[in-house]
Amino acid sequence: MANPQQQLARLAVGILTLTRGRLSLRATIGLCLAAVLYVLVLQPLAKQTLGISLPSLPAIDQPADKPAPQSRPAPERTPRSGAGSPTGVPAAVDPADLPTVLTDRGRGVYESSGGLRYTRGSQQGHRLAHVMAHTLDEPDRVGQHGVFDTNDPAEVVRLIDEAYGLALAGKQTTTQREEGRTIYTVNLRRRIGYIGGESGARKGHPSAQYLKLVIDGDRVITAFPLRP
Amino acid sequence: MLSIGICPVCAAGPLGLRQCGVCRRVVVLCDECDVAWRTDDPTRPGSYGQETMPCPGCSADLWTAGATWATREAVAATPWLVKHLPTLVESPAREPQR
């Protein structure tokens, strides 16, 4: 059993954490006073007069099922670099692990809710892995290498869907067509990443709010943040 | 990887020099948007990758089938590339993850 001082300290921290913004100041103070009364008066009195050990107050922590808040990226953060990893690319991503954003169409083809298909292909072996190579900087890569702020594959897929939707609607988009490619440059009007690679490093990794989306029909070829 | 510029299609990927594992041609390849050309003239028709990256010379897959990034020796042995030798840019190669 914890001593009264430890119980009170843990309890006070727990109460303040849990009730922040939910209870009025008066209610919070009342709750703390009740706890003090229990630990300092009721518990010793029950033990002295009745010989009963009342249970200690439990430590109140944040609920275990609530994920720890993820820190949001600073506007001009230190770039995540793949230079230190053996492959220079993020850990392998399996599109089958993203059932909320991608539907398995068989033979390695996954379709997003926005109607884009991610298929086998590219030097990474799958287009989703190719796109996810843009969640890490490659400081030695020639030219600019757009890097997404998020490294969550589901968020990246949703972002690309959002850009594709704007492109299909002809909003905030410039379109270029080559023989086997359609290239959309979509202004998402908010920061989505930054410019890495050799060129980005020279310029201090400027932020990017455009997304370049290269498709072949409805097949994603590549997508990455861009600063035109 | 040796490269001779930036891809005119995606405006981001380096134009790398890839040697086909079957016909042994050195071709120009953007590893970002998977477009390849037989020569350094991107206004001529290219070859567009989907599930594979067909060599513009023989259609063998440039990501498998023994293809590699071209060496300086291979570039020097390719007449249309010789003029690029003094200005070739060398950067760490990303080899296929297959």
CB B8 within 8 A of CB B1: no
- For chain B, the domains span 2-88
- For chain A, the domains span 4-50, 95-226
Among chain B residues, the shortest Cα distance to A126 is held by B51
Closest to B97 (Cβ–Cβ): which among A89, A183, A221?
A: A89
Task: Name the band, by pLDDT with cuts 50, 70 and 90, for residue A183.
Answer: very high
B4-35: per-residue pLDDT in tens? 999 999 999 999 999 999 999 999 999 999 99
Give me the amino acid identity at A113: S
Task: Name the band, by pLDDT with cuts 50, 70 and 90, for residue A82.
Answer: low
**Position A54 pLDDT exceeds 70:** no
Closest to B96 (Cβ–Cβ): which among A123, A140, A212?
A: A123
Phi, psi of A56 (to 5 degrees): -70, 155
Average pLDDT score over chain A: 79
Contact A142 B35 (CB under 8 A): no
B63-83: per-residue pLDDT in tens? 987 999 999 999 999 999 999
**Position A37 pLDDT exceeds 60:** yes
By mean pLDDT, which of A86-95, A153-162, B52-61 is the weakest?
A86-95
CB B6 within 8 A of CB B12: yes
**Position A220 pLDDT exceeds 70:** yes
Contacts of A5 (CB under 8 A, 6+ apart): none
- B contact residues 48-77, partner A, Cβ 8 Å cutoff: 48-53, 63
Which string of DSSP letters, residue by residue, matches B12-51?
Answer: SSEEEEEE-TTT--EEEEETTTTEEESSS-TTS--EE-SS
- Say whether A129 sits in a helix, a strand or coil: helix
DSSP state of A47: I
A84-136: per-residue pLDDT in tens? 443 444 557 889 889 999 999 999 999 999 999 999 999 999 999 999 999 99
What ipTM was predicted for this assembly?
Answer: 0.93
Q: What's the confidence (pLDDT) of residue A180?
A: 82
- CA-to-CA dists, residue B90 to A40, A140, A142, A221, B29, angstroms: 74, 10, 8, 25, 14
Rounded-to-integer distance, Cα A62 and Cα B15, Å: 53
By mean pLDDT, which of A5-9, A221-225, B17-21, B34-38 is the weakest?
A5-9
Q: What's the confidence (pLDDT) of residue B96?
A: 72
Among chain A residues, the shortest Cα distance to B63 is held by A123
Contact A183 B10 (CB under 8 A): yes
Q: What's the confidence (pLDDT) of residue B44?
A: 87
Rounded-to-integer distance, Cα A128 and Cα A151, Å: 12
| Cross-strand pairs, A184 | A175, A213
Helix or strand run (H / E) with residue B75: helix B72-76
Task: Name the band, by pLDDT with cuts 50, 70 and 90, for residue A62.
Answer: very low
